Structure 1
Amino acid sequence: MRRRDFIGTAVAAVVSGASPASAACGASQAGFQPCVFQALPNRIAGMSLEELRDEYRDRLFHRYLPFWDRGGFDQDLGGFMCELNDDGSVAGDEKSIWYQGRAIWVYSFLYGHFGKDERFLEIARKTKDFMTKHMHAGGGRWHEKVRRDGTVLEGPGKNVYGALFAAAGLAEYYKAARDPSDLDLATQSIRAAVVAYDDPGYSDTHTTQYTAVAIPEKGARSQGHSMVLVWILSGLVAVHQDPRLEALLREHVERIMNGFWNPDFGIANEYLAHDYSRLPEAAPHMFAGHALETLWIVMHEALRINDQALFTTAKDRIRRLLEMCWDYVFEGWGDGNFFVHDTPEHHRGPEYEIKTMWAHCEILIASMSILEYTGEVWAKEWYERARAFALKTMANTGHGVWRQAVDRFGKDVKRVGVGSHRKDNFHPPRMLMMNLLSLQRMIANAGKLTPFPQ
């Protein structure tokens, strides 16, 4: 066994309380095989699976969701305002298309997977009705921001993320309510976004504010766009057969795994040229948070289509990125810019100056899924490590909603482009729901791996 893997296994055994006999490790002619629990552990993070499930239910249903009832959800007009004070009162009344689409997705998913609670569906419906009435600019294009009453503050954006999040919400709401008009608008929005993105003159002003590498002002391809498309389409084609959407899904999985992934350095490039060729200046660069999130989304698509080879490739890349970008001194993950080489402006490796809440949520989704389906010991170790850091530094706000980001030492820090009052209505609830579903399956399986769908 390689020294790194021996050390990782030993650490995992200590952290998990597992004995060496409870995990099988070995090598074959095909190469090193990771250590795997012979039976899935019945304790994670010092708790039984039932205790962890109950804790997450409490965090979701008794802390996170009630916060939004205090002002974030507009009870009168529908829609969500995300510029909020810590007591839940409204600090700014704008409604962004990103957070309307995401909210519709969250509450529709809650309805569909957690007891068919009509109140969740009603929140999703009122938000959907507000969004389609006041924010649809026609033809699948969407206004970026409106005031509480629907007065337009900012018209259709130069990037397509808003339209894609609107489509995500509509698609998930369609699963819950089965209104064909919602499906039609979701698919129209996806197609309009793809047309805009495929234009050589397309400019992604959102993504460029976060990057530290020079990219073309127009026409560059972004891994984040492929990520969101795969996330939406994987859920949509499961309930709606459409050969064009299925082809689009396959295309962007391929772009992610064999285009954005750079085998020369073992990283995922965030940016490519318009023809998906490598950009020389961006080739040694990675936006780590997007890279890991993208890989778990591909991993879940692999589950849907029962492609174990694709799942394994995505899973192994997730492990690599976790190990490459972890802050082994102060804990937490360097989820921003990563450079293979030193540059005049940046040191090689990850940047630890800011550690975002959303990226740590992605680690918790990814590692829990890997543990559930493979039983690999390292996934439990990294789950517990990321969870401990996130709870200690991000979830300790006292009002249920996690802080946006912390610095290297775990202190509150402002993200670029994010207001000081911004509260997140998407990443933590998505993580909590995904983890709850995994835990429920693991409990039901009584120590056995969750089988791949057939």
Structure 2
Amino acid sequence: MKNIIERRDFLRNMAFSAAGLLSSQKLLWAVGEDADGKPFSVTAFPYGTLEQLAGKKIKDILEFHKKELKEEYIPFFENKRIDWQHGGYLHEFNEDGTHVPYKEMYYQGRGLWVHGYLVNNFSVSDKFKKSLIKSRDLLVQNGLDENGYWVSKISADDGKPLEPSTNIYGDIYMILGLTQTYLATKDERDIDLAIQTAYKVTERIVNPAYQHLAGHGAANIPGTKRLGTWVHFLSAITPLLKVRKDEGVDRIAQMCAHNILNYHWQPGLRVYLEYLDHQFKPFPPNPVLNNRFISAWHSVQAAFVVMDEALRLGHAPMFRDAMETGISTLEICWLDKRGLVSLDNPEMKPSSEGSLVEWWGMLDDILVFCLLALEHNHETLAIKYYDKAFELGYSHPEKWRKPSPYPGGQRGMFHHPRRLFYSIEILERIVAHDGKPSNFLETAAR
């Protein structure tokens, strides 16, 4: 691996050229495909067909999502999220309509991913394509520190670093964004930097002193293992490995999946614990720090990112195990009038009292999980919870489908577009198979 300081100087001093780098060919390796970017074949067994979801025919729900993406989300991203003047992405505004004076790398990587995905999969203008390069340049030339970590915040206008790196989440989403950018540019520097960043993330998360400062809540006890860490990281490196094979990153991905399924998942309790101690063991009850928390949201995400990794590896038992953890999470944490409810401890039951859960990304991720399960296995509970999440989400379209730029609102830069992108990908394959499941669980390693 190249020396990070030398590489940083190289990237700072050499602006990328947009000319000749963009391809109109669809290059995306989709969620749910194998290691070579190919969909699985239809089953040869006489299973029934999946004809409808959420009261709609499968073809109709596919067209519904395509229309939503084309008519609502793409104009929103183009008009409200791309910083055409400076590059990068506008993720948060003041109530007077002015953008905050900084850009968080956490959202910049996500924005780069959305931007790259749209370039790779849709007919967009040359201006839209060139703005992807402009954004990539702004982030690469200003976002790396002397250690090869991505800083937490840069200035909204000139990209000057404002806040040093405090956690690994901005880095993770830059991996995702750079991978999509590489598919658009075919510039080896993009994918090389994504791989290098994966190693730099690993360097920190295996460090016993790492505390997740300013990452998904308050700081943790040094050495704490977080479910969200493995989930977010795996969601970025599985797509990376579908684009570029790297033995070291492959083992990192398997580490993430192993930690999720074999440590955070508690078979006797049928839940994922969000926090484990430095020895990967559950924390005892503590009146000061609640380290026995169950994040229902991270749990559903854990299920489908491990399922996607299992598809990449061709590992049927891993897929089944992950699918069962997702179903179990929904059975325990779902309430019809509230949505997906997280729990303070494993003994707690979801309370029907309280308002609708406002974290709409949970519903997005439930839909992705259920579709990925249904593509390969017509699990009746996946149908049940797809219908429930769809009905709850679309009964509040003003909140779910119209992201808010203001603090605390939906920024519409990850879970919302990911649900649309992945739903369309999976539904297209289900339609191509005439509603029959794939042959993955029959032919993959057992």
Provide the rounded CA distance (Å) in 1 between the counterparts of 2:180 and 2:300.
Answer: 23
- 1:437 pairs, out of 404, 425, 436, with 425
Instruction: Name the structure 2 match of 1:57.
Output: 66
Residues 292-351 of structure 1: per-residue CA shift (max 9 Å, x gap): 1011000111111121111111111111110111114x24221x334223xxxxx54468
3-state SS of paired residue (1:381):
helix
Q: How does 1:157-176 map to 2 (within 5 A)?
A: 157-176=165-184
Residues 379-426 of structure 1: per-residue CA shift (max 9 Å, x gap): 122111101111122x3259x53469xxxxxxxxxxxxx824662211
Provide the rounded CA distance (Å) in 1 between the counterparts of 2:231 and 2:243.
Answer: 20
Change (3 A) 1:44 1:253: same
Provide the rounded CA distance (Å) in 1 between the counterparts of 2:436 and 2:136.
Answer: 40
Matched, 1:243 2:239: no
Q: How does 1:256-405 map to 2 (within 5 A)?
A: 256-281=260-285, 284-328=292-336, 330-334=337-341, 336-341=342-347, 348-349=349-350, 354-393=357-396, 395-397=397-399, 400-402=401-403
Residues 176-233 of structure 1: per-residue CA shift (max 9 Å, x gap): 32211112211222212221222222121335627xxxx8532211111111221222
Provide the rounded CA distance (Å) in 2 between the counterparts of 1:368 and 1:440.
Answer: 11
Aligned residues: 392
Provide the rounded CA distance (Å) in 2 between the counterparts of 1:283 and 1:94.
Answer: 32
Change (3 A) 1:436 1:422: closer
Q: How does 1:131-150 map to 2 (within 5 A)?
A: 131-150=139-158
3-state SS of paired residue (2:242):
coil
Gaps of 5+ in 1: 1-35, 342-346, 405-417
Provide the rounded CA distance (Å) in 2 between the counterparts of 1:278 and 1:431.
Answer: 32
Instruction: Name the structure 2 match of 1:415.
Output: none
Instruction: Name the structure 1 match of 2:11.
Output: none
Change (3 A) 1:117 1:221: farther
Q: CA RMSD in A?
A: 2.8
Provide the rounded CA distance (Å) in 1 between the counterparts of 2:436 and 2:377.
Answer: 10
Gaps of 5+ in 2: 1-44
Cα pair 1:72 1:82 within 8 Å, conserved: yes
Shift of 1:92: 2.5
Provide the rounded CA distance (Å) in 2 between the counterparts of 1:279 and 1:291.
Answer: 18
Instruction: Name the structure 1 match of 2:35.
Output: none
Provide the rounded CA distance (Å) in 2 between the counterparts of 1:274 and 1:312.
Answer: 28
Shift of 1:115: 5.7
Provide the rounded CA distance (Å) in 2 between the counterparts of 1:167 and 1:73.
Answer: 19
3-state SS of paired residue (1:176):
helix
Instruction: Name the structure 2 match of 1:449.
Output: 437
Cα pair 1:333 1:355 within 8 Å, conserved: no
By percentage of residues, which structure has more strand? 1
Identity value in percent = 23
TM-score, normalised to structure 1, is 0.79
Q: How does 1:197-276 map to 2 (within 5 A)?
A: 197-207=205-215, 209=217, 216-276=220-280
3-state SS of paired residue (2:150):
strand
Instruction: Name the structure 1 match of 2:57.
Output: 48
Provide the rounded CA distance (Å) in 1 between the counterparts of 2:384 and 2:95.
Answer: 33
In the alignment, residue 80 of structure 1 is paired with which amino acid? Y
Change (3 A) 1:263 1:447: closer
Provide the rounded CA distance (Å) in 2 between the counterparts of 1:90 and 1:309.
Answer: 50
TM-score, normalised to structure 2, is 0.80
Provide the rounded CA distance (Å) in 2 between the counterparts of 1:107 and 1:359.
Answer: 22
Provide the rounded CA distance (Å) in 1 between the counterparts of 2:270 and 2:86.
Answer: 48
3-state SS of paired residue (1:203):
coil
3-state SS of paired residue (1:127):
helix
3-state SS of paired residue (1:154):
strand
Q: Which moved more, 1:432-441 or 1:268-277?
A: 268-277
Q: Which moved more, 1:151-160 or 1:441-450?
A: 151-160
Residues 251-289 of structure 1: per-residue CA shift (max 9 Å, x gap): 111111001112231111111112323322367531111
